Amino acid sequence: MINNSPFDKAIVDSKISELRIPNVGKASIREIVALVNLVEEETGLKYIRMEMGVPGLPPSKIGVDAEIEALKKGVAAIYPMVDGIKPLKEEASKFIKNYLDIDVAPKGCIATVGSMQGTFSAFMAAGNIDKNRDTTLFIDPGFPVQKQQMMVLGLKYTTFDVFNFRGEKLRDKLEEILAKGTINSIIYSNPNNPAWICFNDKELKIIGELATKYDVIVMEDLAYFGMDFRNDLSKPGEAPFQPTVAKYTNNYILFISSSKIFSYAGQRCGLMAISDKLFVRDYPDLQERFKGTTFGDTITLRILYSVSSGTSHSAQWALAAMFKAANEGRFNFVEEVKEYGEKAKIMKDLFLKNGFNIVYEKDLDVKIADGFYFTISYPNMTGNQLVENLLYYGISAIALDNTGSYEEGIRACVSFVKREQFGELEERLKLFNENFGTK
Ligand SMILES: Cc1ncc(COP(=O)(O)O)c(C=O)c1O
């Protein structure tokens, strides 16, 4: 059936065995990246690459200029403070006020080596706050590497797919899990990687209220901050603001990544914001484990100090400058990334025209936004089969089961696909649908 696929099956298969990927449909993001690189090299043909969430836009000039200036001033020679340089902490606190309408003191705004280091450290701390509560709850689908972090840390987690638990249903589901008394923290991303669903304020209120009731820490991963393009979240100090659980509980940590919103992934500099109340909280078991004092100081003086002793000094100046410019209304970072939403709309249409369906289609009764990712399925094909079959048609993606989703389908990331490739994408999808369609 796939003899006329644009990519030679024998070559793709030989690369799969060379990389010793046991089941290509289940391959991780990095395995797909390696495989596609090899096939592209051998065939000279280009894939439509939808597997990895690389920014795909130039970095913010404000950040680059500030970083060059900082380097010229000699910061490379100087260790930064473990919890971040003062200007960054101050601008971050203002940024959170301006764009989330939340007050977090500069002390709780902590520089991290990407959000990756932020969640790693937070998981480690949360996993030790209470000997009787050893489990983190992932509201899935989610970002696969965070589960790898749990594995590396040797910590326990549990998960459920939120697909069937939107709105009020989320309350019952969360109560059912939290009432067991084993959960120390909850993590989710909003907007969601991979599904691009966005929790609304009612859902965030449910999460917040239950976090307070069961005394668990909510980790809100805002890697795609402001990128629900259905609302204009770009005006500092003006509603609407980025919705956040921080409105509804004091037990929160927010993660603001510069990778996507400022296209600054390469410099690995992000921000973790710990609520004022959580920062000063004493957890006796945590104190015993890390010989520290408060929750906040345990994260900075024990964990971050041990892991990297701070975050790149010059990159912190970049982040501080980008926050400052955004705070002062000189840098509309939301406008700069709207391109993702525009591309997503076109790409979704191409898939829908050729027999595919959107998996996570709605936020309750509202259609999901067009943004960095979307999820698609094809009739009578599992997500794993779809990943595998599309590889012969020059389209690469990851299966949703990698993300904790119970739905069959794949995640498509729009950032790396160039507009010039849309024609080719359409042709490949058309051929795919002719070969696999039931017509
Ligand atoms: C949901 C989510 N969290 C965190 C990250 C990583 O962020 P950073 O590059 O700041 O480490 C990503 C990157 O893809 C992501 O999608």
- How many percent of the chain have pLDDT more than 90? 94
Under 8 Å CB-to-CB from 42, ≥6 apart: which residues? 11, 15
Residues 410-422, mean pLDDT to the nearest whole number: 95
pLDDT at residue number 3? 63
Q: How far is the CA of 380 from the centre of ligand 1 (A)?
A: 32
pLDDT at residue number 213? 98
206: enclosing H helix or E strand:
helix 201-213
pLDDT at residue number 13? 92
Phi-psi region of 319 (alpha: psi -120 to 50; beta: other; left: phi over 0): alpha
* Averaged pLDDT of the chain: 95
Write out residues with Cβ below 6 Å of ligand 1.
53, 114-116, 143, 189, 193, 221, 223, 257, 259, 265, 270
pLDDT at residue number 28? 86
Whole-angstrom Cα distance, residue 109 to residue 158?
28
Residues 350-373, mean pLDDT to the nearest whole number: 96
Residues 28-48, mean pLDDT to the nearest whole number: 93
Instruction: Report the residue among 115, 120, 253 best suited for mutation to probe ligand 1: largest number of ligand atoms under 8 A from its CB.
Output: 115
Contact indicator for 226, 198 with CB cutoff of 8 Å: no
Give pLDDT tens digits for 177-197: 999 999 999 999 999 999 999
Distances (CA, A) of 331 to 44, 118, 233, 261, 326: 40, 25, 13, 11, 5
Residue nearest to atom 7 of ligand 1 (CA): 115
pLDDT at residue number 174? 98
- Is the model's pLDDT at 133 over the cut of 70? yes
**Residue 4 — pLDDT band, cuts 50, 70, 90?**
confident
Give pLDDT tens digits for 60-100: 999 999 999 999 999 999 999 999 999 999 999 999 999 99
Contact indicator for 359, 409 with CB cutoff of 8 Å: yes
Q: How far is the CA of 111 from the centre of ligand 1 (A)?
A: 15
pLDDT at residue number 439? 54
More confident residue, 211 or 28: 211
3-state secondary structure of 111: strand
Whole-angstrom Cα distance, residue 147 to residue 128?
17
Q: How far is the CA of 1 from the centre of ligand 1 (A)?
A: 38
- As a dihedral over the C-alpha atoms of residue 321, residue 323, residue 327, residue 328, rounded to 10 degrees, the angle is 20
| Other CB atoms within 10 A of residue 151 CB | 10
Q: How far is the CA of 223 from the centre of ligand 1 (A)?
A: 5
Whole-angstrom Cα distance, residue 150 to residue 404?
14
Under 8 Å CB-to-CB from 361, ≥6 apart: which residues? 367, 368
Phi/psi of residue 353, nearest 5 degrees: -65, -20
- Is the model's pLDDT at 2 over the cut of 70? no
Residue nearest to atom 3 of ligand 1 (CA): 223
Contact indicator for 43, 13 with CB cutoff of 8 Å: no
Distances (CA, A) of 17 to 11, 28, 397: 10, 15, 19
**Residue 59 — pLDDT band, cuts 50, 70, 90?**
very high
pLDDT at residue number 5? 82
pLDDT at residue number 36? 95
Residue position matching structure tokens 């909510």: 218
Residues 339-346, mean pLDDT to the nearest whole number: 96
- As a dihedral over the C-alpha atoms of residue 375, residue 379, residue 381, residue 386, rounded to 10 degrees, the angle is -40
Q: How far is the CA of 190 from the centre of ligand 1 (A)?
A: 11
- Is the model's pLDDT at 1 over the cut of 80? no
Q: How far is the CA of 9 from the centre of ligand 1 (A)?
A: 33
pLDDT at residue number 55? 78
- Nearest atom within ligand 1 for CA of residue 189: 1
Q: Which domains does the chain have, with CATH numbers?
A: 9-57+333-436 (3.90.1150.100), 61-327 (3.40.640.10)
pLDDT at residue number 245? 98
pLDDT at residue number 304? 98
Give pLDDT tens digits for 251-293: 999 999 999 999 999 999 999 999 999 999 999 999 999 999 9
**Residue 30 — pLDDT band, cuts 50, 70, 90?**
confident
What tokens were used for 54?
């690389």
- Is the model's pLDDT at 20 over the cut of 80? yes
Residue nearest to atom 2 of ligand 1 (CA): 223
| Other CB atoms within 10 A of residue 282 CB | 11
Q: How far is the CA of 302 from the centre of ligand 1 (A)?
A: 23
pLDDT at residue number 56? 75
Whole-angstrom Cα distance, residue 100 to residue 97?
6
- How many percent of the chain have pLDDT more than 70? 99
Residue nearest to atom 14 of ligand 1 (CA): 53
Under 8 Å CB-to-CB from 162, ≥6 apart: which residues? 139, 140, 141, 170, 188, 197
Whole-angstrom Cα distance, residue 115 to residue 117?
5
β 270-274/109-112 pair status:
antiparallel
Q: How far is the CA of 112 from the centre of ligand 1 (A)?
A: 12
Under 8 Å CB-to-CB from 432, ≥6 apart: which residues? 354, 389, 390, 393, 395
What tokens were used for 166?
């939107």
Residue nearest to atom 12 of ligand 1 (CA): 223
